[in-house]
Amino acid sequence: MLRLLVPALLASAPLALTATPVPPETDAARMSSIYGAVHDPDGDCQFGMRGEALRVTVPPDPHVFTGSVAAATDNAPCVWRDVEGDFTVSVRVSVPVWEAPGPEPSGGERYIPYATAGLVVHAAKLHGLRLVWKQRATEEGVREGFYCELNRPVRYDGPNWFDKDETGPAYLRIARTGNAVSFGWSRDGKAWTDREAEVDWGRRVKVGVLAENTARAPLTATFDRYTLVQPKK
């Protein structure tokens, strides 16, 4: 009887050693792993992944970010996560340049047509930082460039515009060390133009990407090469 059992056990061994196939990672899981959780107050934006690149499409209705988050008008889509302590975050962002954003404000008289896409840090109500590529409609035409907005309280004396008349994909970076923050942009991810400010943030903040749109055309922003690192404790 023992002689009969040994060949039977050996024959079944390869079946026992065969690994169960691992199901492919979903786009939602990849987005959560790389960028964080979706924040879409109006539930009308689209989020998609192509490999590690995130695409966010914002409809032409006004979607803006003021930093209050809970406000009814604070409805811009974000993908972010909670971060505690010091960090460095960077991303490459690409947004198609408008051909015809629309000559009139799209939200009554509240908004001049503009669109942004880039990095966001939200510390508390009206506290935080947006570092974005921005285009807006003016009487002279569409103005483009890199834009930073630090919500109070901060100490920063520089202009908001880094460089106008710049188009195409670009890298953005924000680094926090205690109450000191540096932020800048780069064309190749190697040579950076940085500025610095002092902030009064708590240790825990939300960090990620956002897109805004008040134009009469939908906006699709693409984010890739995203990194968020913290010093080892």
Asked whether residue 210 carries a pLDDT value surpassing 80, the answer given is yes
Whether residue 132 lies inside any domain: the answer is yes
Whether residue 14 lies inside any domain: the answer is no
Listed range (25-34, 102-111, 213-222) with the worst mean pLDDT: 102-111
Q: Which structural domain, as residue segments, surrounds residue 172?
A: 23-229
Whether residue 105 lies inside any domain: the answer is yes
Band (pLDDT 50/70/90 cuts) for residue 70 is low
Interval 172-193 mean pLDDT: 91
Asked whether residue 142 carries a pLDDT value surpassing 50, the answer given is yes
Each residue's pLDDT tens digit, 89-124:
999 998 877 655 554 544 454 667 888 899 999 988
Distance, CA of 30 to chain centre: 14
Whether residue 205 lies inside any domain: the answer is yes
Whether residue 9 lies inside any domain: the answer is no
- What b-and-e string marks burial along 161-181, b requiring 16 or more CB atoms within 10 Å of the CB? ebeeeeeeebbbbbbbeeeeb
Question: Given this model, what pLDDT does residue 68 score?
Answer: 72
When divided into structural domains, the chain yields a total of 1
pTM of the prediction? 0.82
Specify the CATH number for the domain of residue 48: 2.60.120.200
Interval 58-85 mean pLDDT: 86
**3-state SS class at 146:** strand
